[in-house]
Structure 1
Amino acid sequence: MIERRTSFLAITALAILISIQEVMSIEVNKTFTMIISSRKNQTGHSISQASLSKEGSKIPKHWKLKVEQTMTEYAGIQSFHLGAVAIAPPQLPADYQLFPGVGYYKFHTALANGFEDASSRCANEGGHLAIVNSEAEHQVLQTLFAKHPESELKTVWAFVGFHDRLKEGEFVTIFGQPLQSTGFTRWSSPGQPDDYNKAEDCGSVHRNGGLNDIGCGGKLPFFCEYDLSWTEN
């Protein structure tokens, strides 16, 4: 009779050293070192730890570090997997305006070539199309809009971050959350949203601060807000 035993993976130390150097210019170097270690404690539980050190000038102050460990078993053999992802946030654009207690915003008066172009341009700045979550945020957009008269912009609308492209009448944010859950659903006027000519599937805001559905291909100004989750520890 052959006795078969299942061997458990005993990990006393696992160290992964990653060094990445990014040369931004001749004068500016960025280097970070990430060390991941894993061990089993006295009760047999696996414990993983990660640390990140940074050197160089103009390195982002805040980083996101995600570590995951999993155990798989096949034919009586257990395998241990440890992975980590370090994300460096973009620098806060200097031309975003801070509204204390609300966030950072920018009103792009240079017209976007449709909703997707507006969304992409916000993302390239480390932000996203603005999503109105409160009365205070509604007032921010209204304040920024008021700095540019209708005679200058030639429109009373600007793109913001919601749409009903997945199902007509079911408005969601650009992150897939129901518009009703955002905390602000005041429309620009009675009768809105109206899906005019069955061709209005993207979100906009009127200069009065109210929401509106509008054609996704329109050439409009747009509001970006900086993604404050980058600044979370």
Structure 2
Amino acid sequence: MAAPHRSLPLYCAVLLTMIFCNSYALAEKCGLNTEFNIIVTSRRNRTGHWITSFEAEKTEPTRTSKEISINVTQSTSSCHGLETYKLTSTATVSNHVFRPPSDYELVDEQYYYKLPHVAVSWHDARTTCEKDGAHLLIINSEDEALTVKRYRDRKPKLSGDVGIHDTWVGISDEEKEGEFKTIFGQPFASTGYPKWQGGSPQDGTSFNCVYFSTWKGYLGLAVRDCKKLQPFICEFDVLLSPSS
């Protein structure tokens, strides 16, 4: 995986800071007691986009005339003879040109999922996802678990009882009994969603592959025979994909 490229968001943040500072500096009067604060934050979401946010705040005596020429959201408040101007905006930058196949759906602006309309074994599910350059679903938080449930609920169901509640995920203990790891070799506890139904994996001595269940509205993970045929979700993570 290539190292994240941070220069562009940082450049945006620095440029915005220079614009704000220069705009105020031109309008300042010597000896005027003012305060001016800029807060810049940058993060990268799961779709590979850099989100750079900035917030500028200036406090000065009431009835002081100032003009700011920049396309941002501005709010003003007064208190004890002081007026506070608050400017906010957000810049979004992506340095990735590699995108998932067209049949992957961007869900909740964070995850690229595909739910093939077929029930297969755990190993076949893993192979199918990898052929797309994706991977078998790995849930990383309670929020993502809820996202997966909503995504599954609005998709067509397979006939019969298969595929109504259960979905294969990329976790198993095939290498060493009782030691569950992701398909990337990471410890199960590191996924951010180590939530077993009943508090622990059932029948762990005989079953090795993990699935996500929404049976009776309860969200959690459980294990069963890897040869069991059931639906699966492929997850395409832009951060793990090559950029060109």
TM-score under structure 1 normalisation?
0.55
C-alpha distance in 2 between matches for 1:139 and 1:94 = 24
The residue type equivalent to 2:145 in the other structure is H
Q: Secondary structure at the match of 1:98?
A: strand
Q: Given that residues 164 and 201 in structure 1 are in contact (C-alpha distance below 8 angstroms), is that contact kept between their aligned partners in structure 2? A: yes
C-alpha distance in 1 between matches for 2:222 and 2:175 = 17
Q: Given that residues 171 and 180 in structure 2 are in contact (C-alpha distance below 8 angstroms), is that contact kept between their aligned partners in structure 1? A: yes
Decide whether aligned partners of structure 1 residues 100 and 157 sit closer, same or farther in structure 2, where only a CA change above 3 A counts.
closer
C-alpha distance in 2 between matches for 1:168 and 1:108 = 30
The gaps in structure 1 that reach 5 residues or longer are 1-61, 63-88
Q: Give the C-alpha shift of residue 148 in structure 1.
A: 4.7
C-alpha distance in 2 between matches for 1:96 and 1:139 = 19
Q: Which residue of 2 aligns with 1:164?
A: 173
Q: Given that residues 91 and 126 in structure 1 are in contact (C-alpha distance below 8 angstroms), is that contact kept between their aligned partners in structure 2? A: no
The residue type equivalent to 1:168 in the other structure is E
Decide whether aligned partners of structure 1 residues 147 and 101 sit closer, same or farther in structure 2, where only a CA change above 3 A counts.
closer
Mapping of residues 144-155 of structure 1, within 5 Å: 144-148=151-155, 152=159, 154-155=161-162
Q: Does 1:193 align with 2:201?
A: yes
Q: Give the C-alpha shift of residue 99 in structure 1.
A: 2.0
Decide whether aligned partners of structure 1 residues 216 and 137 sit closer, same or farther in structure 2, where only a CA change above 3 A counts.
same
Decide whether aligned partners of structure 1 residues 108 and 199 sit closer, same or farther in structure 2, where only a CA change above 3 A counts.
farther
Q: Given that residues 102 and 137 in structure 1 are in contact (C-alpha distance below 8 angstroms), is that contact kept between their aligned partners in structure 2? A: no
Q: Given that residues 159 and 203 in structure 1 are in contact (C-alpha distance below 8 angstroms), is that contact kept between their aligned partners in structure 2? A: yes
Q: Secondary structure at the match of 1:120?
A: helix
Q: Secondary structure at the match of 1:220?
A: coil
C-alpha distance in 2 between matches for 1:139 and 1:232 = 30
Q: Given that residues 98 and 243 in structure 2 are in contact (C-alpha distance below 8 angstroms), is that contact kept between their aligned partners in structure 1? A: no
Q: Given that residues 206 and 212 in structure 1 are in contact (C-alpha distance below 8 angstroms), is that contact kept between their aligned partners in structure 2? A: yes
Which of the two has greater strand per residue? 1
Decide whether aligned partners of structure 1 residues 120 and 151 sit closer, same or farther in structure 2, where only a CA change above 3 A counts.
closer
Q: Given that residues 117 and 158 in structure 2 are in contact (C-alpha distance below 8 angstroms), is that contact kept between their aligned partners in structure 1? A: no
**RMSD value, Cα:** 2.6
Match of 1:118 among 115, 121, 125: 125
Task: Give CA-to-partner distance per residue, 1:26-83, whole Å, 9 cap, x none.
Answer: xxxxxxxxxxxxxxxxxxxxxxxxxxxxxxxxxxxx9xxxxxxxxxxxxxxxxxxxxx
Identity of aligned residues (%): 34
Aligned length: 143
Q: Given that residues 90 and 126 in structure 1 are in contact (C-alpha distance below 8 angstroms), is that contact kept between their aligned partners in structure 2? A: no
Q: Secondary structure at the match of 2:150?
A: helix
The gaps in structure 2 that reach 5 residues or longer are 1-47, 49-96
Q: Give the C-alpha shift of residue 195 in structure 1.
A: 2.0
